[in-house]
Amino acid sequence: MKIVVDANVPAAEACLGELGEVVRVPGREIEAATVRDADALVVRSITQVDASLIAEARAIGSPLRFVGTCTIGTDHVDEQALADHGIGFSSAPGCNAEAVVDYVLASLSTLAERQGWRLAERRVGIVGVGNVGGRLLGRLTAMSIDCLACDPPRVEAESIEAEGPEGLPGFHDLDTLIDECDVLCLHTPLVREGPHATHHLLDAQRIAALAPGTVLLNAGRGDCVDGRALRQRLAGQGDLTAVLDVWEHEPAIDAALADLAEIATPHVAGYSLDGKLRGTHQIYRALAHHVGLPARLTMDDLAPPPPVARLVLDSGLSPEEALRLCMRVVHDTRRDHDSLHREARRQGMAKGFDDCRARYPLRREFATLEIGLREGAREWAALLAGAGFRVDMA
């Protein structure tokens, strides 16, 4: 069995190599001819597996029988076209959700430091309470951060009313979040049509309604925000703070909007090694099941030890300083922001954007770091554990 795999999928040989011959190809170069003699295709979000690619592959005699995407989102894959041609499909829901939550918390911590406020004093609105948004809501609530949540499709499907899932805060409409929250975090899928469409969910009217001083953070889908309207608000009034990891028209994103964002990163919020390995492993298991072979490898077989496994803290820091220190040991979003701007200047935006993703440095998740707390720091245990670290009384 021949398996064509996006060049940025980690551990493909270790995992998928158990099932067949692995051939790596850069994601943006994958086309019908690439899978002429392939039995399986494994991609990430930059490869458009659309009806034309599938039809052309079939027309040239491709034996393709399985497509997997090592991502949560699936809007880059035409699932109906795959089904019409009898091709199996699997995605990796939740694989990088923890990494995205890490990114959100690290970004908010950086903004609080730069702008002189405390996250504990802010109300955070979370739009989309799925794999990512649900975890973010859980962590913020555990950190005693006031939150409001919005997820109309989930409310409709599950008849959620005043009480949120597992005792978490209840659900509200988007305009309530816009009116009442200091921070607005978007974690919705991209849905272009229907009663719960999210394309330009934050349109010009809603962007204009954001109160001065609001932080807008989008780590969901770029097309959920009207980028032109946001750029005009930032350039004209300059009274919002934008943190953007996803963009319209990737990789040729709006350079002027990137310049105006306080933190601008190249769609890497979920790019932890742990998240990528989970995605690879989930697709490995799905492909093995599809072809009737055993899946013998576990995640423990794939994940290496973290470069920093333990950090010991004592008195002398504020809770915010202690939390920020622990976060930056694992992930500093300023690095990702600086990399995008540097490579955009050097190579142009589209090439620089893709190069940052292709050469993204090693990054682990908060949960890989154990925090030892000596007597003078034990009062921070709940805060650090809530943020996602493993806490031990040193």
Best CA proximity match to 232, nearest among 252, 264, 266, 260: 260
Q: Are 234 and 255 in contact (CB under 8 A)?
A: no
Q: In the annotation, is 200 catalytic?
A: no
Q: In the annotation, is 321 catalytic?
A: no
Q: Looking at the structure, do residues 87 and 151 belong to the same domain, yes or no?
A: no
pLDDT of residue 160: 55
Q: CA–CA separation, 210 vs 156, rounded Å?
A: 26
Q: What is the 3-state secondary structure (H, E, C) of 168-185?
A: CCCECCHHHHHHHCCEEE
Q: Classify residue 191 by burial, with Cβ atoms within 10 Å: 0-12, 13-18, 19+.
A: middle
**Boundary-marking domain end, from 45, 76, 91:** 91
Q: Looking at the structure, do residues 255 and 164 belong to the same domain, yes or no?
A: yes
In a domain, 378, yes or no: yes
**Boundary-marking domain end, from 243, 264, 285:** 264
Indicate the number of domains in the chain.
3
Q: In the annotation, is 267 catalytic?
A: yes
**71 annotated ligand binder:** yes
**Per residue in 234-276, pLDDT tens?**
999 999 999 999 999 999 999 999 999 999 999 999 999 999 9
**Per residue in 71-99, pLDDT tens?**
988 989 999 999 999 999 999 999 999 99
Q: Looking at the structure, do residues 245 and 101 belong to the same domain, yes or no?
A: yes
Q: How many degrees, rounded to 5, is the angle at CA 302 between CA 299 and CA 304?
A: 115
Q: Looking at the structure, do residues 78 and 141 belong to the same domain, yes or no?
A: no
Q: Looking at the structure, do residues 62 and 102 belong to the same domain, yes or no?
A: no
Position 164 pLDDT exceeds 60: no
In a domain, 284, yes or no: no
Q: Looking at the structure, do residues 227 and 337 belong to the same domain, yes or no?
A: no
Best CA proximity match to 242, nearest among 107, 45, 68: 107
Domain enclosing residue 181, as ranges: 96-264
Position 119 pLDDT exceeds 80: yes
Exactly one of 98, 248, 250, 262 is catalytic; name it: 250
In a domain, 285, yes or no: no
Q: Looking at the structure, do residues 54 and 169 belong to the same domain, yes or no?
A: no
Q: CA–CA separation, 175 vs 7, rounded Å?
A: 41
Domain harbouring 323, CATH code = 3.30.1370.170
pLDDT of residue 167: 47
Distances (CA, A) of 224 to 74, 157, 173, 332: 15, 21, 16, 25
Read off the amino acid at residue 300. Answer: D
Q: Looking at the structure, do residues 58 and 104 belong to the same domain, yes or no?
A: no
pLDDT: which is higher, 160 or 234: 234
**Per residue in 188-225, pLDDT tens?**
999 999 999 999 999 999 999 999 999 999 999 999 99
Least confident of 121-135, 152-166, 179-193: 152-166
In a domain, 277, yes or no: no
Q: CA–CA separation, 381 vs 59, rounded Å?
A: 60
Q: Looking at the structure, do residues 118 and 62 belong to the same domain, yes or no?
A: no
Domain harbouring 13, CATH code = 3.40.50.720
**37 annotated ligand binder:** no
Exactly one of 221, 233, 281, 357 is catalytic; name it: 221
For the chain, give the percent of residues with pLDDT over 90.
92
Q: Are 243 and 220 in contact (CB under 8 A)?
A: no
Please give the structure tokens belonging to residue 220: 């969901």
**Per residue in 276-323, pLDDT tens?**
999 999 999 999 999 999 999 999 899 999 999 999 999 999 999 999
In a domain, 255, yes or no: yes
pLDDT of residue 162: 44
Q: Looking at the structure, do residues 241 and 104 belong to the same domain, yes or no?
A: yes
**270 annotated ligand binder:** yes
Exactly one of 44, 65, 231, 267 is catalytic; name it: 267
Q: Looking at the structure, do residues 87 and 105 belong to the same domain, yes or no?
A: no
For the chain, give the percent of residues with pLDDT over 70.
97
In a domain, 37, yes or no: yes
Q: Looking at the structure, do residues 141 and 160 belong to the same domain, yes or no?
A: yes
In a domain, 130, yes or no: yes
Pairing of strands 21-25, 146-150: unpaired
**Boundary-marking domain end, from 37, 63, 91:** 91
Q: How many degrees, rounded to 5, is the angle at CA 257 between CA 129 and CA 208?
A: 65
pLDDT of residue 161: 52
Please give the structure tokens belonging to residue 358: 């292709």
**151 annotated ligand binder:** yes
**Per residue in 7-25, pLDDT tens?**
999 999 999 999 999 999 9
Residue 242 bridge partners (DSSP): 216
**176 annotated ligand binder:** no
